[in-house]
Amino acid sequence: MENVEVSPMALIETEFLRIQFQQGLPHEVGINGVRIEDVLDVLIAKLNAYQEGPLACRENEEALTGLVTARDAMVRRRQRRMMQGVFNTMNPHAERTEDLDQDFSATGA
């Protein structure tokens, strides 16, 4: 969708689409929009419905695989943020999962 513009308010609107993403921390401003995972879940459900009917095809399955991978990555991101104590804050989460205070890698690398 070439003509889609993401505004600073995180509202995406086209002729047939309107998506309001969450703005602010839910515990401070309440829930006022969707998360990326919510949008991915809708797309996954739509393609699953196609796959259960006469429109099932390999391309739908490939798209589903990509969307599920994307949703799962976002879920892992949220879980890591929770584990690191930065969920529902504007603080970044650590990219490394090993003990950052140690001079070794927990992965052995």
Q: Do the domain assignments include residue 96?
A: no
Which structural domain range is residue 61 located in? 35-90
Q: Do the domain assignments include residue 5?
A: yes
Question: Distance between CA atoms of 94 and 24, rounded to whole angstroms?
Answer: 21
Same domain, yes or no: 46 and 69: yes
Token look-up 């943020």 returns 81
Torsion angles phi and psi, residue 94, rounded to 5: -70, 140
Question: Distance between CA atoms of 36 and 52, rounded to whole angstroms?
Answer: 25
For residue range 6-64, list pLDDT tens digits in order.
Answer: 555 688 889 999 999 988 888 888 999 999 999 999 999 999 999 999 999 999 999 99
What is the band of 105 on the pLDDT scale with cuts at 50, 70, 90?
very low
pTM for the whole structure: 0.72
Q: How many domains does the chain have?
A: 2
Same domain, yes or no: 54 and 10: no
For residue range 73-94, list pLDDT tens digits in order.
Answer: 999 988 888 888 888 887 788 8
Q: Do the domain assignments include residue 107?
A: no
